[in-house]
Amino acid sequence: MQTLLHPTGFVDSPFGHDGKVAQLAGGLCWFDAVELLSVEGNKRVASELVPVEQLEQRLDEPMAAQWQALTGKRPPLQLGERTVRLDQPQVMGVLNVTPDSFSDGGRFADAGAAADSGADMAAEGAAIIDVGGESTRPGATPVWQGDESERVVPVIRQLAGSGAAVSIDTRKSEVMTAALSAGARLVNDVSALTFDPRSAEVVVAAGAPVVLMHHQGGPETMQDSPRYDAVLVEVYLWLEERIGAAEGAGIARSNILIDPGFGFGKTVAHNLELMNGLALLHSLGCPIVLGASRKRTIGALSGEAPADKRLGGSLALALIAAGLGAQIIRAHDVFETVQALKVWRGLRDQALTPRV
């Protein structure tokens, strides 16, 4: 039996609540209760809601470690000369240099146009530009690593040369190596370093941060019939195992970010359950990346709206993620997402201004 700590009971402000509230991951969110989830195997077997002020007397050693992870500050990412603070939500702009991406395939097949679009994203407020050369949409087929490198390297080189912080979205070690040499400073691996046995070695050698994303199955088959006993618990335990594997390979925990894998081997119901329980993942002690922009779940909830008509739903999920403490929001529509988060930030700043 294992107990997981799920923060809940979010409050606008800590003022006047000394000892009754806690700060989530050193960020802008505060909570006054914790749901203790009793887990056996992959299943949630019981839960109990405990006020923060009563929690200390309930913590055994494993729970105390979770509590420290849950409330501890996340250090900033150092991406070359760029520092990305993680005490507030940041936007990662999605730049697909592919002919078959689910949302914008073919728009940026030309390296110059792609780099210009990435520069526009940076100007609009994206802290990181995430460049990908292989579609991982449901049903996508693998791309040869040489072709993938040829797609991304010129774009990364131009963006990095202009001063942008660039990440490489790939699951292949050869592409990681080429991208890091071209100026990428973060690796975003949808396979969580499971696809290519040399990937961890490349990340360690570069000293680069890495995003470990949960998935069930590969892009070709992941949406055929995804099944979980309890999706939130299983994603948590799977990511816990992958963090341990990454650390065992020599990657510092401070260089590990996690992504619950919205839409990667999950039904609409699975995705919604993950979003509702997202704050649980802070107990793993790593910054959370959330990539729900333009995903099919939005279309399924809005009359099967096509990918280019999912801005409203993307912004709704971005704001919910920010309210649950996610540090990085991956977005196609950078200007609108940055603006929405600025308004959210304004509300939080006002709530966190001491009352006279």
330 annotated active-site:
yes
CA angle 84, 89, 93 (to 5 degrees): 70
- Whole-angstrom distance between the N-terminal and C-terminal Cα of the chain? 47
Q: Are 301 and 313 in contact (CB under 8 A)?
A: yes
Residue 278: other Cβ atoms inside 10 A: 23
User: Sign of dihedral through CA atoms 334, 256, 140, 225?
Assistant: negative
CB atoms within 10 A of CB 38: 14
- The question of whether 172 is a catalytic residue gets the answer no
The answer to whether 38 touches 1, Cβ cutoff 8 Å, is yes
**Size of the chain in residues:** 356
Separation CA 335–CA 318 (nearest Å): 13
Distance, C-alpha 315 to centroid of its chain: 15
Cα–Cα distance for residue pair 320/36, rounded to 1 Å: 22
The answer for 80, left when phi > 0, alpha when psi is -120 to 50, beta otherwise, is left
Which of the residues 44, 151, 242, 295 is marked catalytic?
A: 295
Asked if 296 contacts 58 with a C-beta cutoff of 8 angstroms, the reply is: no
Q: Give, as one character, the DSSP assignment of residue 189.
A: E
Residues belonging to the active site: 295, 330
